[in-house]
Amino acid sequence: MLVLLAGIFVVHIATVIMLFVSTIANVWMVGSSNFGTISTGLWLLCNKTCSPLPVSSQDEASLKAVQAFMILSIIFSVVALVLFIIQLFTLEKGKRFYMTGAVMLVCWMCILIAVSIYTARFTGAVAYSTNPHHGYCFILAWICFCFSFIIGILYLVLRKK
């Protein structure tokens, strides 16, 4: 059981790190142009230099929602990690990590909402580029989606021994 809890803890820390990277880095969509590789993220459009992401007025609300839900997912994931550590030392034997699992599933829902909105509204839309495809941040966000769901369910099922 101790090895399983340690494994979940390590995967949870990896999920938090990947959420930070996927939110901060600007490689959600990548395309090529005459000037080289162009990448866009949630915040900037990068070629050789980075500039604010040009967004049409109809897509601005969607981008703000994606940004907000990704930030919320980071917050909920960190809160779940801290809550797990607190529950690890204060929870009575035989009790389950319900609170940690619930917070982690809220994180999972935030990631789902953010990545789904991004997929629906911004896939294939890289300004001034040809042959756009998803970057590693988009893929990391989907990996975090899977990990947070698995971790959340495991927290709900596991008991403290």
**How many Å apart are CA 117 and CA 126, to the nearest integer?**
16
Structural domain includes residue 34: no
% of the chain surpassing 90 pLDDT: 52
Model confidence at 128: pLDDT above 70: no
Structural domain includes residue 130: no
Give whole-number Cα distances, 8 to 2, 103, 109, in Å: 10, 15, 19
Structural domain includes residue 128: no
Structural domain includes residue 43: no
Residue type, 124: G
C-alpha 100: how far from its chain's center? 17
Structural domain includes residue 142: yes
What average pLDDT does this structure show over 105-124? 92
Residue type, 65: A
Q: Model's pTM, two decimal places?
A: 0.89
Q: Which domain holds residue 69?
A: 1-29+60-119+137-160
Q: Which of 107, 109, 100, 56 has its CA nearest to residue 80?
A: 100
- Asked whether 123 and 134 are in contact (CB, 8 A), the reply is yes
**How many Å apart are CA 40 and CA 29, to the nearest integer?**
5
Check residue 127 and give its pLDDT: 61
Structural domain includes residue 42: no
% of the chain surpassing 70 pLDDT: 94
What average pLDDT does this structure show over 9-16? 95
Domain count, the chain: 1
Structural domain includes residue 88: yes
Please list the residues that pair with 134 across neighbouring strands: 29
Which stretches of 11-91 are assigned E, i.e. beta strand? Answer: 29-33, 36-40, 44-46, 50-52
What tokens appear for 149 in the block? 């769901």
Q: What is the pLDDT of residues 98-112, one digit of tens each?
A: 899 999 999 999 999
